[in-house]
Structure 1
Amino acid sequence: MPTSRPTPHRRSASTGAVIAVALAAGLLAPAQSASAEGTGVRIHDIQGTTRISPLAGHQVKDVPGIVTAVKAFGPARGFWFQDPNPDDNPATSEGIFVFTGSTTPAVAAGDSVLVSGTVGEYYPGGQDAGLQSVTQLTKAAWTVQSSGNALPAAVKLRPSAVPARYAPDVHGSIEKLPLKPDRYALDYFESLEGMRVSVDNAPVVGPTNPHNELWVTADPRHDRTARGGTLYGSYRDPNSARVKVASLIPFKQRPFPVANVGDELTGTTAGPLDYDNFGGYTLQATELGTLADHKLARESTRKQKNDELAVATYNLENLSPKAPQAKFDRLAGALVHNLAAPDIVALEEVQDDDGATDDGVVDAGQTLKKLTDAIAAAGGPAYQWRQINPVNDQDGGQPGGNIRTAFLFNPARVSFTDTPGGDSTTPVRVLREGGKAKLSASPGRVQPADAAWKTSRKPLAGQFTFRGKDVFVVANHFNSKGGDQGLDSRIQPPARTSEVQRNQQARIVNTFVKQLLAVDKNANVIVAGDLNDYQFSSALKTLTSGGVLTDQVGRLPKKERYGYVYQGNSQVLDHILTSRHISRPDYDIVHINAEFADQASDHDPQVLRWKP
């Protein structure tokens, strides 16, 4: 396997085999111990050749190694130590974490130690979350033999070392399968669990988050976006070389770099390889590269022409009057300047007037007034809004927030057809009037009582007129991916249980569009919003089935198909789709948020321009 693993220390007999024989013979049981002087237990014997330690639940005694890093903060403190004399099996890790709870361990990097303790498997997020486990020692005691020793050399994460295939496709758990680090990326990283690893001149593919973490890639040339990220283009290729970077260096000594996508950590970033439930394999840096700021700029789209209708969608990320005025000002400035004041905007995550306070308030008039006032103050149009209050606590999202979709529109450019009858529970119907389609209520909700919308936002349909032409817009916010297993789950392929509901939601919206087109095959229909799924997902295939809608994402150059960045993957969640009669539209995802550490929202907005 092409790694930079230290030169192995070969033995005449396999200590792993000795342990296996002892276990089989019943000579090593829970609450007993395996001594380094007796059976010669070393870290690679504890780690074994699968994700689960062959010694899980057993006590071990005087396991030797060099302390490589100390975690001296948070509730899960401890230290990593590593055997400087590895075996010749690339599947067995030579490092391990010693968990000391809320107590900072009295050791330092470079200490040579003998550690005794109980071998355990820790599942971040709990075993039911589906993630992989971390092999560790608990209830530990240790003696320091000497200090100031050289640390074991870090394994360099290189493109040639990280396999392109991500994980075995077994439709079940992979945790008891023999590790194949030369074949699968997850096996490769698992074979390095707890060991010192490093990346050199690493491109940043996920911006610094509020927890002082960022994502880099060890394969700079693989599936790069036009702006320096890593494109998530299919389930088959989740970009194996992504690694999260956190820091063990005290903040006062070395502040964590504030990085955007496209920046670079120059030089070497090194530390033990950890695993957690907020991003998977994590390089816990004891050495941080220097940030090279590549000056990523926020985009601005062009102004629509007089005879072009501009329709945008923007997820405002839990906007309520309790948000700082600075957030309203930034969202407003983006709508006016970066999006060039679209004629119609489908908004998502508009909260009620008291935000996350769960007291029965459902109206969002104050939220929308504060936003439109900020838009006017930024030099934008005097937008009006239309929306329907949800039933209290029935639409999911942040508890008490009552998020919903809403429309903004510029009355100087476009008219809204107000048709009474729309409320939180009455479904909008498609009517025929003079051979043309018409909504029974505008605004109106699409099948709000259907079980597909349980604890999820209901689509909002509105009828607009632009230059004498009717345009039907459906604003959407499909259910989230909450509950899905992560890409790095021990279940492979990971379960995407939330897809079931999104497929049901997509079918309802697809049927509604078909109803409009059945009345008028030339109806101008735009479906927009945060669909919480990828352009290659089953939900989008359901939504576009029958050729009634075209997902405009697919018309962009491949390197531009993203508007959200999650764990180092630049991906698509928001969409604008159009009916057949809308020909040759101009579509743009405007990158102003997702790639940046400083965000007004975690979503990029997008806009479509079209001449009716």
Structure 2
Amino acid sequence: MTMRLTRLTPPLALALVTALAPAAVAAATPTPTSPTPTSTGTTIAAIQGPGFTSPLVGQKVSGVPGVVTAIRTGSPRGFWMQSATSDRDDRARDRSTSDGIFVFTGSAAPTVKPGDAVTVAATVTEYRAAANVADLSVTELTSPTVTVVSSGNALPAPVVISPTAVPSRFAPPVSGDIEQIRRAVPARSAQEFWESHEGERVSVPAPWIIAPSNTYGDVYITSKPNADRTIHGGALLSSYDLPTGRVKVSALDGAKPRMNVGDRFAGPVVGQVDWSSFGGFVIDAPTLPAVVAGGLTPTVASKPDAADLSVATYNVENLAPRDPQSKFSALARGIVTNLASPDVVAVEEVQDNSGATDDGITAANTTISTLVDAIAAAGGPRYDHRDVDPTNDADGGQPGGNIRTVFLFNPSRVSFVDRGRATATTATTPQRSASGGAELSVSPGRIAPTDPAWTNSRKPLVGQFVFRGRTVFVVGNHFASKGGDQSADGRFQPPARSSETQRLAQARVENAWIRSLQAIDRRASIVIAGDLNDYQFSPAVRTLTGGGTGLVDLIATLPRAQQYTYVYSGVSQVLDHIIVSADLRARARYEVIHLNAEFAGQTSDHDPQVVHVRP
């Protein structure tokens, strides 16, 4: 694909902008070989149309006037252009349409520059990556012939995105494919608002950073710094309706500043509204302002009371022996310093001794011992551990990695009750002990490992502990991931959450197991800890804690601004939980330790958490 370019020379250029530009473009355009309809002198607003897709898709247009606002030399190559005089200045104008558009030049590098007044002949296209059917499409001009009319023109003023500009509702009030909406209402929802500005220059004044920058240099900002705000300045998810001030930013010049949640840009972020398969609408900024650090520091757990049992959960993100020692050391510091060396740690995503090499190995003793050694070297206790090796490639995660949950425990503080010999397929069940209380038939053991609910997913690990003469049952979880769900930013609203079905089934199985334990001892001390891969308001979590169990999801007891353990696509959300039985709730001290999810330098993508209870 090539971009054909014609350049007009002064002094005729300005006079030719409207009078002769269509003719000049037409002269440079080959005669169509097919009866594709052609629109002449079409405006950008007419091409964009009032809906999510162009009413002229597939048609050839010519004489499309505009001013080049930005260039993209990386993939996809091209440039943005915008009407020199905005139709928004006309009160009778349809506010649903945009005055900007992207011109795709294919393999040819764009030869225009910002400030060039141009006319374009091209084909109107709705672009969507074939593999991302749930994405919103982007209206583009393709196979362009470009005529430069003049240069050095002022760029159209950007639309200022104030804190009140974007509606508080995220998606339009429809069910299904929102691209079928014929007329977007930008004052009704965030998706319609951004769609009505697709391709236009916008400006967000001195915005706050709501997610750490990634290796690609992308970052998320908010135009609503005081809405849905976390304690550190992130954007909080409290329902299935996404925070609406959030928008992704990408630097066209390749800059990759390192940013944490709570940092801010010193000046306005100015760029063109585009769409990203990885995060929804994005502002493609030619350059980024300087970054003002917010001073974010990792949190530290409160000092433990020797009379309390402390239980933590930490997803260590595919920990394997081949990981650099620096990762083991950083995890160890987090456990010793930030979590204050808990008595019991449920550790998720521990890979086997060969990591992601799919060689049939399932044992993880090398991975575990390397972590235990690192903790001791960091000044922590010499932890003992328990786990159950899974069946090869049966528990999901990276192929060959055989991730599992592992219990680390401090033997000088708590003892583990070993009973029976667990295998990957052996179920542990509650039974009555000789003293009349409850005990596990196998410890450590797995909850209903052959139940279909756990297909290609981690099975819950259960252990029976004794602390100061009291029995405590700890369940370590890592529920099925959200893989396969439709994008929450995408065209299908509400998005299909197909993965939720399996987590709901897992919650039902585990809830039934808990109720069978409580049927033997209604006052049994129970701690459920781990990555449930679901929100505090989700059906799965509500099912797990329901059924008359009296279980309490502790993160839901925190102030709203503290309810998050994970940051994804600019949204601070809950995936990890500690749930306790009613007898432990009264004196529980619970904290989420924010040391990963909000930082550009992460040891894991999850934040750990810890609870202090008195059985």
TM, length-normalised to structure 2: 0.91
Check whether the contact 1:388–1:444 (CA below 8 A) recurs between aligned residues.
Answer: yes
Correspondences of 1:254-273 after superposition (within 5 Å): 255-273=255-273
What is the match of residue 227 of structure 2?
A: 222
Give the secondary structure class of the aligned counterpart of 2:193: helix
Over the aligned positions, Cα root-mean-square deviation in angstroms equals 1.5
2:4 is matched with none
Query: What's 1:145 paired with?
Result: 149
1:171 aligns with 175
Task: Measure the CA separation in 1 of the matches of 2:485 and 2:123.
Answer: 32
Per-residue Cα deviation, 1:466-525 (whole angstroms, up to 9, x for no partner):
111111111001111111122222111111111111100111111111111111011111
The answer to which of 102-111 and 63-72 deviates more is: 102-111
How many Å separate the matches in 2 of 1:167 and 1:576? 31
CA distance in 2, matches of 1:41, 1:267: 36
Aligned partners of 1:570 and 1:127: how far apart in 2?
Answer: 24
User: Whole-Å Cα distance in 1 between the matches of residues 63 and 557 of structure 2?
Assistant: 62
Contact between 1:125 and 1:277, CA under 8 Å: does it hold in 2?
no
Letter paired with 1:152? P
Contact 2:39 / 2:60 at 8 angstroms: preserved in 1? no
Any idea what the Cα deviations from partners look like across 1:516-569, whole Å, max 9, x if unmatched? 111101111111100011111111110111241110011111111111111221
1:129-155 per-position Cα deviation (integer Å, ceiling 9, x unaligned): x12111112222212222221111111
1:124: how far off?
Answer: 3.9
**Retained in 1: the 8 A contact 2:527–2:579?**
yes
Question: One-letter code of the match for 2:438?
Answer: A
Q: Which residue of 2 aligns with 1:101?
A: 106
Distance 1:126 1:95 in 2: 26
CA contact (8 A) 1:30 1:57 kept: no
Deviations 1:71-122 (A, max 9, x none): 1123x22211111123322111111112233442222111222222221112
d(CA) in 1 for partners of 2:524 and 2:48? Answer: 63
- For 1:402 and 1:320, how far apart are their aligned partners in 2? 10
Q: CA deviation at 1:127?
A: 4.8
Is it true that 1:194 corresponds to 2:195 in the alignment? no
Aligned sequence identity (%): 51
Match of 2:384 in 1: 384
1:408 paired with 2:408, answer yes
- Conserved? CA contact 1:156–1:198, under 8 Å: yes
Q: Does 1:599 align with 2:595?
A: no
Confirm or deny: 8 A CA contact 1:31 1:58 kept in the other structure. no
- Whole-Å Cα distance in 2 between the matches of residues 465 and 270 of structure 1? 59
1:520-539 → structure 2 map (5 Å cutoff): 520-539=521-540
- After superposition, the Cα gap between the structure-2 partners of 1:134 and 1:424, relative to the gap in structure 1 and judged at 3 Å, is same
Q: Structure 2 matches for 1:37-52, cutoff 5 A?
A: 40-52=41-53
Q: Residue type of the partner of 1:383?
A: Y
State yes or no: 1:586 paired with 2:589: yes
2:575 aligned with 1:573: yes
What pairs with 1:192-591 in structure 2 (closer than 5 Å)?
Answer: 192-236=197-241, 238-249=242-253, 251=254, 255-433=255-433, 434-548=435-549, 549-582=551-584, 583-591=586-594
What letter corresponds to residue 156 of structure 1 in structure 2? V
- Contact kept in structure 2, 1:204 and 1:214, CA below 8 Å: yes
- The CA deviation at 1:305 is 1.4
d(CA) in 2 for partners of 1:404, 1:221 = 39
2:29 alignment counterpart: none
Cα distance in 1, alignment partners of residues 111 and 322 from structure 2 = 45
- 2:18 aligned partner: none
Distance change (3 Å), C-alpha of 1:231 and 1:30: farther
Using the alignment, how far apart are the partners of 1:30 and 1:175 within structure 2? Answer: 28
CA contact (8 A) 1:34 1:41 kept: no
SS of structure 2 residue aligned to 1:175:
helix
1:257 is displaced (CA, Å) by 2.0
Give, in angstroms, the shift of residue 209 of structure 1.
1.1
Q: Secondary structure at the residue paired with 2:337? A: helix
- Per-residue CA deviations over 1:271-297 (Å, capped at 9, x if unaligned) read 101101101010111132221101111
CA distance in structure 1 between the aligned counterparts of 2:101 and 2:452, rounded to whole angstroms: 47
- Please state whether the residue corresponding to 2:490 is helix, strand or coil: coil
Out of 598, 608, 612, which is 2:611 matched to? 608
Q: Which of 156, 159, 175 in structure 2 is aligned with 1:155?
A: 159
Aligned-partner residue type, residue 577 of structure 1: I
Q: Distance in 2 between matches of 1:382 and 1:577?
A: 26
Alignment: residue pair count: 575
Q: Secondary structure at the match of 2:578?
A: strand
Counting only pairs closer than 5 Å after superposition, residues 6-85 of structure 1 correspond to structure 2 as 32-36=36-40, 40-74=41-75, 76-85=76-85
Unaligned runs of 5+ in 2: 1-31, 88-92
Query: Are residues 323 and 127 of structure 1, via their aligned partners in 2, closer, same or farther at CA, if it must alter by over 3 Å?
Result: closer
Q: Which amino acid aligns with 1:151?
A: L
CA distance in 2, matches of 1:116, 1:455: 52
Query: How far, CA to CA, are the matches of 1:231 and 1:91 in structure 2?
Result: 29
Amino acid at match of 2:345: V
Q: Is the 8 A contact 2:216 2:256 kept in 1?
A: no
Q: 1:557 is aligned with what amino acid?
A: P
1: distance between equivalents of 2:124 and 2:185? 23
Give the letter for the 1:486 counterpart: S
CA displacement at 1:246 relative to structure 2: 0.7
Which amino acid in 2 is paired with 1:34? T
CA shift at 1:256, angstroms? 2.6
Structure 1 SS opposite 2:122 = strand
SS at match of 2:361: coil
Distance in 2 between residues matched to 1:95 and 1:144, nearest whole Å: 17
- Asked whether the 8 Å contact 1:49–1:91 carries over to 2, the reply is yes
CA contact (8 A) 1:168 1:184 kept: yes
Change (3 A) 1:280 1:124: farther
Deviation at 1:224, TM superposition (A): 1.1
3-state SS of paired residue (1:455): coil
Counterparts of 2:233 and 2:163 in 1: how far apart (Å)?
17
